[in-house]
Amino acid sequence: MATIKDISQMTGFSITTVSRALNGYSDVSESTRKLIKEAAESLSYSPNGLARGLVMKETKTLGLLVSGMTYKNIDNNFVFEVLCGINDSAANSAYDLILFSTNTAKQKMKTYTQLCRERKVDGVILQGVKTDDPYLQEVLDSDIPCVLIDVPIDSKYVGFVSTNHKQSAQTAVDHLIDLGHHNIAMVNGYPEAFVSKERYEGYAEAMRNAGISLRSEYVVNGNFTEEEAQQQATELLKAYPEITAIFCASDMMALGVMKAAGELGIAVPHQLSVVGFDDIPTATYFQPPLTTIRQNMYQLGHEAANLLMGMLKSEDSPKYKILENELVIRSSTAEPGR
Amino acid sequence: MATIKDISQMTGFSITTVSRALNGYSDVSESTRKLIKEAAESLSYSPNGLARGLVMKETKTLGLLVSGMTYKNIDNNFVFEVLCGINDSAANSAYDLILFSTNTAKQKMKTYTQLCRERKVDGVILQGVKTDDPYLQEVLDSDIPCVLIDVPIDSKYVGFVSTNHKQSAQTAVDHLIDLGHHNIAMVNGYPEAFVSKERYEGYAEAMRNAGISLRSEYVVNGNFTEEEAQQQATELLKAYPEITAIFCASDMMALGVMKAAGELGIAVPHQLSVVGFDDIPTATYFQPPLTTIRQNMYQLGHEAANLLMGMLKSEDSPKYKILENELVIRSSTAEPGR
DNA sequence: TTGTATGCGTTATCAT
DNA sequence: ATGATAACGCATACAA
């Protein structure tokens, strides 16, 4: 609880000199600096970040607004990987992270801007915002530097990181087409997600390029959950038994699809090929091991933090970055059988 | 950027009255309160948490010192589950979380106490501290309220949450003994972890109770990693082919052990039974699905945060809690075969 | 019911 | 090279 005032009294120097000495200013003699540093040490002094932040208008904190850090998302380390990336990046600089622990009830009380301004964060990283989220508009209107994850919007104070979702989806579906599939369905997430739109675009593009006409009945939404995907896939496969392949917008949904197939007595991959998206660690262990699109979420988080810290340093720092995904072929896809 | 001063000028009331009105004090007339609130609204005022914290000596932030939020731990959502639990708990109260992003290099620069005092956190949750960690002593010496995860120490300002590691380990080994195993080895984590000691105790206790003499050669350390466990298990199984069961202190190490067995041509579970610890989501998908001890890490985090917030509220709030684990029997254990 | 004055711990401006 | 003083935005003891 010692302050620079205490050091000042102990050493006889003014608080100004103490402050300057401790902050490495050059206009203080080495002898007094030594004295002051020793006093600080003996009083086990720590600077008060609040007071410093109050006057400096900079807190060296990055805000994190992360959806999905809750019980039901526990199996999805997607969010965790992003977090690790951000954390590692912040650890290499002087920033700490503040996690806005907000639930839907609290979200109604405090807006995005309020949250950030109260905590006086230097910048924010947003993960999991939907396109119709009211927060999104606030972000754009606000003057708080911000990086969005998987929402491609940039403006003066806003940047983003994402992956090439469309191209990746296209690659995934091309893989199915190359194997000889024609009746390819898609289990998407939900319409309010940018990534869902992009991935659908990729699916559609691949089909068009192959001269296969799109059938809207073949495309359903699984809300990114295993359960809904399983249910949707069950109905899909019952209604359209001609389907021989399903492209899913997440690995967990792919798991749901495989379970649906299993219950209907449809063998994967021999009667039905399944492709996922994400490449979660568990995907390797699925039965059969899942063919999927690998996203490097760690790197996504890492780049997000770097981008943001860059924006804080200089006006004309790059504001967005798009990473490349990669198709990982395992055993859930094969030539269409009979 | 509006302050109460701005509101004061706009409405003509003093900043005192503005402050009191906004903070819901009763000694301000409803009419002026209304005026002031409207002014605040129109100026889109947000209180400055730094200034408030400076004078109130309370920041409504909980510090999180978490080891393992880094690239190599990405597959281990153990940490993430704890985090989710803490987050959910904090979300239901007025606290936000601050993640101390510290790497080993930075850790040498700033001590635990410095970190906390600079940020002026009201309390701290520590995860992943080893028994020989210098941080630990600091925690005990400091007067910052703190909850340790899986380190059973409590004092005036320190509490902890943990699970019944010893009993759980004993249950796991009992299960093996009940199946008819005698030559049971253990792949532990590392000696500096409390949980390792506890789990070893449980192993030893079970063996003693069954009248099986302990052989120190049967106990090795896998450092909680898949790779080291695999390597250690390989040597173990080569040197002592009479071993028919291995109890592992984590699921990832159990995976390493199963891989070792696989490479040596030893069938699990028919020639070797394997038990893990944690019940990570992937454990269900291992081949064979892993028998293990389920730990509810989410609840652990939840309780940790609740405990800490309780300690902040009153002196004589309970300071520790021990949760129960549960044996989950899957297919990696069986009667010893030949 | 409202206002005045003070302090929280720090940095910054301007003297000396 | 060092010091006095004013800010930063807020809460609170005390007055009125």
- C1' (C3) to CA (B18) span, angstroms: 11
Using an 8 Å Cβ cutoff, are A229 and A202 in contact? no
Chunked in runs of 10, what are the mean pLDDT values of chain A (338 residues)? 96 97 95 97 97 97 88 77 94 92 74 92 94 86 94 94 98 98 97 96 98 97 96 98 98 97 97 96 93 96 98 94 98 89
Of all nucleotides, the one whose C1′ comes closest to residue A16's CA is: D3
Question: Tens digit of pLDDT per residue, chain B (338 long)?
Answer: 899 999 999 999 999 999 999 999 999 999 999 999 999 999 999 999 999 999 999 999 999 998 878 877 777 778 889 999 999 999 999 899 999 877 777 776 788 889 999 999 999 999 988 888 888 888 888 999 999 999 999 999 999 999 999 999 999 999 999 999 999 999 999 999 999 999 999 999 999 999 999 999 999 999 999 999 999 999 999 999 999 999 999 999 999 999 999 999 999 999 999 999 999 988 999 999 999 999 999 999 999 999 999 999 998 999 999 999 999 999 999 999 75
List the single protein residue with the shortest CA to C1' distance from C12: A55
Q: Is A298 in the B-facing interface, judged by CB distances under 8 Å?
A: yes
Contact yes or no for B99 and A100 at CB 8 A: no
CATH number of this structure's domain B165-295, picked from the four choices 3.30.360.10, 3.40.50.970, 3.40.50.300, 3.40.50.2300: 3.40.50.2300
Contact yes or no for A91 and B106 at CB 8 A: yes
Choose the closest CB to A49 out of B106, B120, B282. Answer: B120
Q: Is B107 in the A-facing interface, judged by CB distances under 8 Å?
A: no
Q: Which ranges in chain B are annotated with CATH 1.10.260.40?
A: 1-46
Beta strands in chain A (DSSP E): 61-66, 96-99, 123-127, 146-149, 158-163, 184-188, 219-221, 245-248, 273-278, 291-294, 320-323, 326-328
Of all nucleotides, the one whose C1′ comes closest to residue A15's CA is: D3
**pLDDT of the residue at B320:** 97
**pLDDT of the residue at B84:** 93
**pLDDT of the residue at A338:** 52
Q: Which ranges in chain B are annotated with CATH 3.40.50.2300?
A: 165-295
Tell me the CB-side half-sphere exposure of residue B296, using CA atoms within 13 A.
12
Question: For testing the chain B interface, which of A46, A100, A111 should be mutated: the one with the most B CBs within 10 Å?
Answer: A46
Q: Is A22 in the B-facing interface, judged by CB distances under 8 Å?
A: no
pTM: 0.94
Choose the closest CB to B87 out of A49, A101, A114. Answer: A101
Write the DSSP assignment of B26-42 as a string of letters.
SSS-HHHHHHHHHHHHH
Strand order in the sheet with A219-221: A219-221, A184-188, A245-248, A273-278, A291-294, A326-328
- C1' (C6) to CA (B57) span, angstroms: 17
Hey, how many other C-beta atoms are within 10 angstroms of the C-beta on A12? 10
**pLDDT of the residue at B95:** 95
**pLDDT of the residue at B166:** 98
Side chain identity, residue A311: M
Strand order in the sheet with B146-149: A320-323, A158-163, A146-149, A123-127, A61-66, A96-99, B96-99, B61-66, B123-127, B146-149, B158-163, B320-323
Chain A hits for B64, Cβ within 8 Å: 99
Write the DSSP assignment of B122-158 as a string of letters.
SEEEEES--TT-HHHHHHHHS-S-EEEES-----SSE
Chain A hits for B282, Cβ within 8 Å: 281-282, 285
Task: List all residues 6 or more positions away from A318 whose beta carbon is below 8 Å from its beta carbon.
Answer: A159, A307, A310
H or E element that contains B221: strand B219-221
- C1' (C10) to CA (A52) span, angstroms: 5
Tell me the CB-side half-sphere exposure of residue B204, using CA atoms within 13 A.
11
Q: Is A118 in the B-facing interface, judged by CB distances under 8 Å?
A: yes
- The candidate with the shortest Cα–Cα distance to B157, out of B165, B148, B149, is B148
Chain B hits for A287, Cβ within 8 Å: 285
- Secondary-structure class of domain A1-46 per CATH: mainly alpha
**pLDDT of the residue at A139:** 86
